[in-house]
Structure 1
Amino acid sequence: MKLLQIFIMVLFITMNLNAEDFISSNTCKACHPTIYGEFYNSSHRKASIFEDPIHKAVWDLHPNKEKESYTCAKCHTPSDTKLIQKLKENKKAIPEKNSIQSHEAISCVYCHSIKSIEEHEKVNTNVLTSEKKVFYSANEDNRIVKDKKYKDEVSLFGMMKKKSGSPYHTIDYSNEDFYTGKMCMGCHQKLQNDNKFDLCRVDMKGAQDEEKNCITCHMPKVKGTATSIKITDKHRFHGFASASNNQDLLAKYIKINFEQKNDSFEISIKNESSHNLFLQPLRLAQLKVNVLKGNERIELPTKSFMRIIGKDKKPTMPWLANSVVKNNMIKANENRVIKYDYILKADDSIEVVFGYYKVNPKMWKKLKLENDETSTKFNVLKSEFYKGE
């Protein structure tokens, strides 16, 4: 029965491969159903203007739209190779709604083909392998293996047999970038506009430590097998925890504490991540604190945290910005303490809510997102209750 299942899988994969030159992520689903399901709900799958309303709103105002040059494709839709080729040839390149744009803007094959990262001033470049059907992955037990192929592994004097590798592709476990998280830095490390101003930047040091990096935080190990061929207890989460998806997996890196004083109290927010709490300049983080006195609810002033970019001390769209207008975002490993001049009584309770908007409310109208649920929703990261003493 097992051999029949494997034969059917290989037949399905071969049919899909012969049907089109582009290797669809749907092909990967045959052997990696759990991972594919996570990927399909991820921001990687939804990175195009057809799936991400915020990205589309920014693109609709971008001057490159009039020039018909979708330069965002390098990171937002790299799987659309026809569009990428048009950009390379300086031809008109506007995204067209197709299966790639809708279902795998950043595909499984694309990420697992990243051989190395070229660092550049404005934005880095992913260097892809030229070897066909050789994909990079991480496995601590096989990290010196460069050409893992499908085979039966025999142990205990031939009594135990188990499948190893993939019947479809070779696996290279030796790429160090897949252990340190550097393979993410082609798109996520930095982006400069034409004014040579950093729209966002992450310290490359965050992709050097194997114990704590982009992958360990945003792709933590979760329960479930990585493949249907060889059953494993855990696998790397391919839903890519972020402000867009599965932010609960990142909430553990935020610690909230309460301390009562004689004439006041303090709320501290500790950011235990290796980068500033939010990197995208559209984000707005907020701390909301309420005092509960029996049936009475007293709302204390909301504290906001943001990084606003602009020009001439005024907020602007990213392509016009040349400076930081305001930045009080909680930094990497910072413990931010906020004092409230409020005297608490023994029966008082404190409700502390920390969360964020994906789009700063002041930008909703400009981007025509005032009716978009994902933009206008306040996302709760942490909620705590404390008692007065």
Structure 2
Amino acid sequence: MSAIPVMIGMPRPRASDAEGAASDLPGDPLVDTYGRVHRDLRISLTDRCSLRCTYCMPEQGNEWLARSSILTLDEIVRIASVAAASGVTTFRLTGGEPLLRADIVEVVRRLSRIPGPDGRPVELAMTTNGIRLPELLPGLVEAGLRRLNISIDTLRRDRFHVLTRRDRLDDVLAGIAAAAASGLRPLKLNAVAMRGVNDDELTDLAQFALDHDAELRFIEQMPLDAGHTWDRARMVTRDEILDALAQRWMLTPVPERGGAPAERWMIDGGPRTVGVIASVTAPFCGDCDRLRLTADGQLRNCLFSTTEYDLLPLLRGQAGDAEIDGMLRSCVRGKLPGHAINDPGFLQPARGMNAIGG
């Protein structure tokens, strides 16, 4: 008999759902069979990116999504409106690199006007490499963008070039400076911790974030590279990250994490903080409230899912909103208790991170 993977915070199935009782109606909350209420939709706008990070995608030979399959603005808004009517309160725009989408400001404008379940507009956030922020940020803020996460894995030019295969560090730093000056808060910087790559920069990255009135969020490297070359031995763990930071600062846990992916610690008593997303060594699956929409219209209930729910035939056929809502609910009901990265039988998703959405 194969072992059942034990996940930290693994949810237990509800009795009614275990018996097959699924009576959700349009407008009801999106609740899975383990009682998790889904309030966050990650919307990927493109699989293309201006960088080629080694842990995400190969430098050459990428098979891009067919342009005809990429969701139009109207299709994105329609899906988001249906999701908001059933309790989704946050949209996060991802990619690839979302700022490469030509209509990005209008995407933000349209989505930011969608009313949430309480009648107030949903909260709109974005994860970006920051390269186009200096030119686009004023328009994005005016259109309704409220929060930003910017990826920065190293502060050294030589390492940045090797890691991303592009000499764009100055552009990323300019984007971070623009975000820091914009007043968008909280501002978060994301860094994937990698052994032998940037593990000697952890405190420098955290201090850089503090200097820009931002929170650094370290991310354990996950098996999401398109080349399937992930090696657990090269991953810097949550405990190793915290040990490195504790050499410089006193860290105090921030309580009431809720469904947030990052554990957070106050630095030297606060109010400044640092976070760690430990998807591998300390999974937070039991409180996950996220769904994902790929740029080509596939719904995913987990970053590591091997199953997708295709919305394109509904969007481009004669389906009504109730059918789209039904697909959302099918996706939610199909969600497993956890991603099982630590199980010997774990299978890495066929898509790379750039095609799934961050």
Normalised TM-score (structure 2): 0.27
Normalised TM-score (structure 1): 0.26
Q: Which has the higher contact order (CA 8 A, sep 6+)?
A: 2
Q: Which structure has the bigger radius of gyration?
A: 1
Greater fraction of residues in helix: 2
Greater fraction of residues in strand: 1
